A and B are shown apart, each in its own frame.
Chain A
């Protein structure tokens, strides 16, 4: 088992004819993902990496029955791409595109929710279930199948950490890159809820970073409801403090959002928190041996 994607996942790539769309379609196929369709308006009837291209998501839906989508289209067009994908009935949409205005993303998020669809991203590396399916751009070589879930706000740091885990003999059930945007489609809590139900996942590695309060909120959830061991890492302990987003922003965070508050919240929730990324495999092994709470 795994969460969200597995060998039954049938992927549609929005923006398949673009540079990144093409490269990562090949990458997904090499991982073993069933990429069944591509969509680029005006390019219908062509073929990219042996994948048929359609003019609209609905046409692709009728002919190839995808159940997940990966969006590579540029930021100004991402909102439209999401609406089209959701309207065609695709329940899981991974948005790789970065720099989508948060106003657009708010509308996209509320729309997807109203239609029962789930968004991962934007500005994220995607999701991968080793020996199952990958939807996104994570490098294939770092994964190893196993029973540890990984949730991260980062890109390259996720690859680093997953690769450390694999090298230490610790395989992964599913790895999710949430993306670091201010309005993410999926949160740590959403992912934790899914991992809680997943029989194959025995522990979860949570990679956070400074800014926002998502890690603190996840810590609250872990404390109250999550029974599996959690191993955390927060990047940016030594980062120079950024300027605040004006007074109104400061009210909302009210003293939360630093590396120190995130580490403290996770530790208070019983998570084991690594000081450096390469300490994570040791803590995972310890957690699996000794049980959930540190």
Chain B
């Protein structure tokens, strides 16, 4: 099955790319680097609009020139000028500016465009009407992994970081995934938030819309914070929408939204190899997330400093192994530890990939190998013929790696 190229929520996705490249099944996910399809505020609001969730009047601009086209026409004054970045706490960080006149809106836009917020550069600004608020609430739906159910959460104190709100002030309802939010659950949220009359009705409708966004868009998280009461109606002042990476095949339009990776991580991704840089000096090539993490743990336990790790996943292609080694060379490690336990991956595949890469040009780093599991004798034979020693004991192999690290 071919899937569109897309950002990685996690290394699992890179493993996936590899799986499809080699027709191998890879067994498990990595949870190390969470890089997901997190929509910008305006993108989330576009989704909300399609589902009838009420929003303030607003427009996105990408240059100061565009401001005069929208302010006063599409967007009434006074207005809020909002940097479109994915970081939280935008209010405190200066990413939100208020403007009473067109000139102020232009100045705010000029100030925000190109500004860096925790490593994220502002390329777009959302300008919205500033509404007179009477209350700010909180509403979200996400997956509760512990209960293995979607959870609807609501809180009467919106507009602040929800983590800072004590648990008992947050209402929760767990939703049956196939039935959806039922009426009594909506009534619970209305009562919990102290709403009544038309506002209660609006909230019920809004909960239903949010549930539709959550399920129909395959979201991991849909959050409205704050959900404001302005002019006697509910309005979504902000949006946080994260799309589940594994469901992108149903939503190809989300596929080209960018995640965050280092250049080398990007290169590895293009080759279908999961690769993470950590900043020590030992390179690790392993297969599978659990074994990769355990290898790092053992290295650390012996005083080693793992710097970059590369998860081969499951492969039956020696070329993939060669590519992994050449990528590893670019990361410039002091020593490389190849620790493979073959299940789907065969030991002889890894061994011949290693030998063939060494035949092309000498490796720029010393390495230690431990290759065990499926077709182990065949793999050992290939390594032995090429004069490579392979360890069978993990602790022994790691001690050797750490000695080499110290020597160089």
User: Counting CB contacts under 8 A, is A88 at the interface?
Assistant: no
User: Counting CB contacts under 8 A, is B290 at the interface?
Assistant: yes
Contact pattern, A 152-195, Cβ under 8 Å of B = 1, otherwise 0: 11111111100100000000000001011111100000000000
Which of A5-13, A196-204, A211-219 is the contact stretch? A211-219
User: Counting CB contacts under 8 A, is B363 at the interface?
Assistant: no
Quick check: A245 and B25 within 8 Å, CB to CB? Answer: no
User: Counting CB contacts under 8 A, is A225 at the interface?
Assistant: no
Residues of chain A lying within 8 A (CB to CB) of residue B299: 238
Which of A38-46, A247-255, A285-293 is the contact stretch? A247-255
Quick check: B290 and A107 within 8 Å, CB to CB? Answer: no
User: Counting CB contacts under 8 A, is B381 at the interface?
Assistant: no
Q: Which of these, B176, B220, B300, contacts A245 with CB under 8 Å?
A: B220
User: Counting CB contacts under 8 A, is A72 at the interface?
Assistant: yes
Give A contacts to B, CB under 8 Å: 19-20, 72, 74-76, 96-104, 106-107, 109-111, 123-125, 137-139, 141-142, 152-160, 163, 177, 179-184, 207, 209-214, 217, 233, 235-240, 242-252, 254, 275-278
Give B contacts to A, CB under 8 Å: 1, 10, 12, 15-16, 19, 23-29, 31-36, 38, 88, 140-146, 148-151, 153, 161-163, 167, 170, 176-178, 215, 218, 220-221, 223, 225, 240, 242, 244, 246-247, 249-250, 276, 278, 286-291, 293-294, 296-301, 306, 341-344, 372-374, 393-395
With contacts A247-B240, A252-B144 known, is A160 near B33, CB below 8 A? no
Closest to A243 in B: B34
Quick check: A99 and B142 within 8 Å, CB to CB? Answer: no
Quick check: B163 and A156 within 8 Å, CB to CB? Answer: no
A to B CB contacts below 8 Å, 23 in the list = A20-B25, A74-B1, A75-B246, A76-B249, A98-B16, A100-B246, A101-B244, A103-B177, A107-B178, A123-B28, A152-B290, A156-B373, A179-B28, A183-B145, A183-B148, A209-B290, A209-B293, A217-B146, A245-B242, A248-B221, A252-B144, A276-B298, A278-B395
Quick check: A106 and B149 within 8 Å, CB to CB? Answer: yes
CB distance from A253 to the nearest CB of B (A): 8
Quick check: A103 and B215 within 8 Å, CB to CB? Answer: yes
Residues of chain A lying within 8 A (CB to CB) of residue B36: 245
Residues of chain B lying within 8 A (CB to CB) of residue A217: 146
Quick check: A183 and B373 within 8 Å, CB to CB? Answer: no
Q: Which of these, A104, A109, A244, contacts B34 with CB under 8 Å?
A: A244
Residues of chain B lying within 8 A (CB to CB) of residue A184: 148
Quick check: A210 and B170 within 8 Å, CB to CB? Answer: no
Quick check: A212 and B145 within 8 Å, CB to CB? Answer: yes
CB distance from B324 to the nearest CB of A (A): 15
Closest to B394 in A: A278
Closest to B245 in A: A99
Residues of chain B lying within 8 A (CB to CB) of residue A251: 153, 162-163, 167, 170
Chain A CB within 10 Å, residue with most, of B140, B148, B342 = B148
Quick check: A160 and B294 within 8 Å, CB to CB? Answer: yes
CB distance from B215 to the nearest CB of A (A): 6
Quick check: A183 and B143 within 8 Å, CB to CB? Answer: yes
Quick check: A155 and B163 within 8 Å, CB to CB? Answer: no
Chain A CB within 10 Å, residue with most, of B36, B162, B225, B288 = B288
Residues of chain A lying within 8 A (CB to CB) of residue B300: 237-238
**New contact pairs (16) apart from A142-B373, A243-B34, A248-B153, CB-CB < 8 Å:** A19-B23, A98-B29, A101-B244, A123-B29, A155-B27, A156-B290, A158-B290, A160-B294, A211-B31, A238-B300, A240-B276, A243-B35, A247-B240, A254-B167, A276-B298, A278-B394
Task: Give Cα A214–Cα B28 distance, bound, in whole angstroms.
Answer: 16
Closest to A181 in B: B29
Quick check: B291 and A157 within 8 Å, CB to CB? Answer: yes
Chain B CB within 10 Å, residue with most, of A104, A124, A138, A247 = A247
* Among all A-B residue pairs, the 8 with the closest Cβ atoms: A154-B290, A155-B27, A157-B290, A156-B288, A101-B247, A106-B177, A211-B31, A235-B293
Task: Give Cα A276–Cα B278 distance, bound, in whole angstroms.
Answer: 20
Task: Give Cα A237–Cα B240 distance, bound, in whole angstroms.
Answer: 30
Quick check: A153 and B374 within 8 Å, CB to CB? Answer: no
Chain A CB within 10 Å, residue with most, of B151, B290, B299 = B290
Residues of chain B lying within 8 A (CB to CB) of residue A237: 297, 300
Quick check: B27 and A247 within 8 Å, CB to CB? Answer: no
Task: Give Cα A98–Cα B313 distance, bound, in whole angstroms.
Answer: 12
Residues of chain B lying within 8 A (CB to CB) of residue A252: 142, 144-146, 151
Task: Give Cα A102–Cα B220 distance, bound, in whole angstroms.
Answer: 9
Closest to A167 in B: B392
Quick check: B178 and A250 within 8 Å, CB to CB? Answer: no
Quick check: A276 and B290 within 8 Å, CB to CB? Answer: no
Residues of chain A lying within 8 A (CB to CB) of residue B176: 110
Q: Which of these, A104, A137, A163, A212, contacts B27 with CB under 8 Å?
A: A137
With contacts A156-B343, A239-B296, A242-B33 known, is A247 near B290, CB below 8 A? no
Q: Which of these, B32, B140, B374, contacts A240 with CB under 8 Å?
A: B32
Closest to B175 in A: A106
Task: Give Cα A242–Cα B30 distance, bound, in whole angstroms.
Answer: 10
Residues of chain B lying within 8 A (CB to CB) of residue A76: 1, 249-250
Closest to A211 in B: B31
With contacts A160-B294, A247-B223 known, is A98 near B28, CB below 8 A? yes
Quick check: A248 and B223 within 8 Å, CB to CB? Answer: yes
Residues of chain A lying within 8 A (CB to CB) of residue B23: 19-20
